[in-house]
């Protein structure tokens, strides 16, 4: 029975199988073994596109509905709300199912095999502080796989899959997977005895790259649209601060598609008339009328990536799609010491909690393996270096290490996954 390993990520997705004794990743896009977890419903053509094609449709300005970070709504009521999405009425659960079906069809087309069973990666915690919502998220993801045509699905913690695909460590030494993805941060402490990898402890927190984007957007971009600015009262004297909700939603990947409501557009129009600085709210009005929320989000993400380069100390976030010559400045010092300080603290705390679960001190970790696109940020590496100054730091294949591990595990017996001796 062929089992397809699938790393369904918040930002990127990959899939793999074992071939000739080693992981083989599926070309989920032409010439690529990863694709953005993006969906675009094209109004004019009445077709649905995925990955880089979906991103390109948005950037080209095609009429339609763009979605990203769908994994983040698993376990929430938003997932099962039926709504009009472009040319269809459907739920986000059905959108996720179609994405997973597309992955299966591309894997079957490449390999000639029929994949009725999937081994899916999942974060240790979809939701950090709500056990019921965390449990519901796996129920939701299982249902999405079944809707996508799989007859069964098993789940494996993503950092544990990455541990299976990691390089050798000496007998008696412990490794730590630091898996910082688009939506969550996950940790696994493991040891290896020959071909067997034993998981000692795994833990996670709902903080990831999309949260980094959100924090940067709220701090550096949204003030240019009126966040924190004053609005005159419509009747009588006095002023009030514009409510934060609209700005917070515009900064949140999974909420952007739902901000373009008549109510929000009317509010922005009113603020543009009554704002103490009306130019700020005029930009907000333009963003809502022209549906530029995702354009802003991609600009923030691009600025974050550019600033992570060793030779960069500041960048300009390009917002010229809103207004000619509009940029938001972001410095590396501000990003690391202020804007992302809370996220770094949560990641560091989760790593400490993982140590406590394993009942070991930080000095027992000999090797740290960084996995996931957001693990490449210096703020993450600095947090781990401070906690494990003596450990050797290694970079795995940031975007495919989990898929490699799932491919390896998918070729083995199911009881081994349950025993966590992989």
Q: What percent of the chain is predicted at pLDDT more than 90?
A: 84
Query: Which helix (DSSP H) or strand (DSSP E) does residue 341 occupy?
Result: helix 341-358
Q: What is the pLDDT of residue 415?
A: 45
Average pLDDT over residues 88-97: 95
Question: Residue 340 pLDDT more than 80?
Answer: yes
* Residue-wise pLDDT tens digits, 24-42: 999 999 999 999 999 999 9
Q: What angle do CA 89, 93, 95 make, to 5 degrees?
A: 65
* Residue-wise pLDDT tens digits, 199-218: 999 999 999 999 999 999 99
Q: What is the pLDDT of residue 421?
A: 45
Contact assessment for residue 176 and residue 388, using Cβ atoms and an 8 Å cutoff: yes
* Residue-wise pLDDT tens digits, 110-121: 999 999 999 999
Q: Which of 141, 139, 129 is nearest to 100 (CA)?
A: 141
| Token pair belonging to 412 | 């083995």
Bridge-based pairing of strands 152-157 and 117-122 is parallel
Instruction: Please report the domains of the chain, with CATH numbers, ordered by start residue.
Output: 1-166+398-422 (3.30.420.40), 171-395 (3.30.420.40)
Alpha-carbon separation of residue 210 from 2, 70, 140, 313 (angstroms): 33, 11, 21, 22
Residue 236 φ/ψ region, left for φ over 0, alpha for ψ in the -120 to 50 degree band, beta for the rest = left
Q: What percent of the chain is predicted at pLDDT more than 70?
A: 98
**DSSP per-residue letters across 294-325:** HHHHHHHHHHHHHHTSTT-SEEEEE-TTTSTT
* Residue-wise pLDDT tens digits, 160-201: 999 999 888 888 899 999 999 999 999 999 998 877 899 999
Provide the pLDDT confidence category of residue 414 given band limits of 50, 70 and 90.
low
Average pLDDT over residues 250-264: 96
Question: Residue 256 pLDDT more than 80?
Answer: yes
When the pLDDT of each residue in the chain is averaged and rounded to a whole number, the result is 93
Alpha-carbon separation of residue 315 from 50, 309, 318, 336 (angstroms): 30, 10, 9, 14
* Residue-wise pLDDT tens digits, 276-333: 999 999 999 999 999 999 999 999 999 999 998 878 899 999 999 999 999 999 999 9
Buried b (16+ CB within 10 A) or exposed e, 409-419: bbbeeeeebee
| Token pair belonging to 237 | 């004297």
Average pLDDT over residues 263-268: 97
The residue among 1 and 36 whose pLDDT is bigger is 36
Q: What are phi and psi of 238, to 5 degrees?
A: 105, 170
Q: What are phi and psi of 276, to 5 degrees?
A: -60, -40
Q: What angle do CA 277, 337, 294 make, to 5 degrees?
A: 50
Question: Residue 345 pLDDT more than 50?
Answer: yes
Q: What is the pLDDT of residue 413?
A: 65
Q: What is the pLDDT of residue 396?
A: 76
Question: Residue 417 pLDDT more than 60?
Answer: no
Contact assessment for residue 297 and residue 213, using Cβ atoms and an 8 Å cutoff: yes
Q: CA-to-CA distance for 175 and 42, rounded, in angstroms?
A: 46
Alpha-carbon separation of residue 292 from 85, 88, 281, 422 (angstroms): 17, 22, 14, 46
Lowest mean pLDDT among 129-133, 154-158, 279-283, 397-401: 397-401
Q: What angle do CA 168, 173, 179 make, to 5 degrees?
A: 65
Q: What are phi and psi of 410, to 5 degrees?
A: -65, -20
């Amino acid at each position: 029975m062929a089992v397809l390993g699938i790393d369904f990520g918040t930002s990127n997705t990959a899939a793999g199988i074992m071939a000739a004794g080693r992981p083989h990743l599926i070309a989920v896009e032409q010439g690529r073994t990863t694709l953005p977890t993006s969906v675009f419903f094209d109004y004019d053509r009445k077709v649905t596109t995925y990955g880089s094609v979906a991103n390109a449709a948005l950037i080209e300005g095609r009429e339609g509905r763009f979605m990203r970070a769908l994994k983040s709504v698993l376990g929430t009521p938003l997932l099962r709300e039926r709504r009009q999405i472009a040319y269809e009425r459907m739920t986000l659960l059905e959108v996720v199912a179609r994405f997973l079906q597309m992955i299966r069809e591309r894997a079957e087309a490449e390999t000639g095999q029929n994949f009725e069973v999937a081994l899916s990666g999942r974060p240790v915690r979809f939701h950090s502080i709500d056990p019921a919502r965390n449990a519901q998220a796996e129920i939701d993801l299982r249902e999405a796989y079944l809707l996508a045509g799989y007859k069964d699905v098993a789940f494996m913690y993503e950092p544990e899959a990455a541990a299976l695909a990691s390089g050798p460590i000496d007998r008696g030494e412990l490794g730590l997977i630091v898996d910082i993805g688009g939506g969550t941060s996950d940790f696994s402490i493991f040891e290896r005895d020959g071909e067997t990898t034993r998981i000692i402890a795994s833990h996670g927190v709902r903080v990831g790259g999309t949260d980094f984007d959100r924090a940067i957007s709220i701090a550096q971009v949204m003030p240019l649209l009126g966040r924190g600015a004053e609005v005159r009262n419509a009747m009588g004297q006095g002023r009030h601060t514009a409510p934060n909700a609209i700005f917070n939603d515009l900064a949140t990947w999974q909420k952007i598609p739902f901000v373009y409501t008549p109510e929000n557009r009317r509010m922005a129009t009113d603020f543009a008339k009554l704002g103490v600085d009306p130019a700020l709210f005029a930009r907000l009005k333009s963003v809502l009328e022209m549906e530029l929320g995702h354009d802003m989000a991609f600009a923030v993400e691009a600025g974050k990536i550019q600033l992570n380069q060793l030779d960069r100390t500041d960048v300009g976030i390009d917002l010229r799609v809103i207004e000619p010559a509009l940029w938001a400045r972001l410095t590396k010092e501000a990003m690391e010491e202020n804007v992302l300080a809370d996220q770094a603290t949560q990641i560091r705390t989760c790593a400490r909690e993982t140590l406590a679960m394993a009942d070991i001190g930080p000095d027992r970790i000999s090797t740290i393996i960084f996995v996931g696109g957001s693990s490449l940020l210096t703020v993450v590496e600095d947090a781990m270096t401070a906690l494990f100054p003596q450990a050797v730091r290694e970079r795995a294949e940031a975007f495919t290490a989990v898929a490699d591990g799932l491919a390896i595990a998918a070729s083995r017996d199911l009881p081994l996954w349950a025993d966590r001796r992989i």
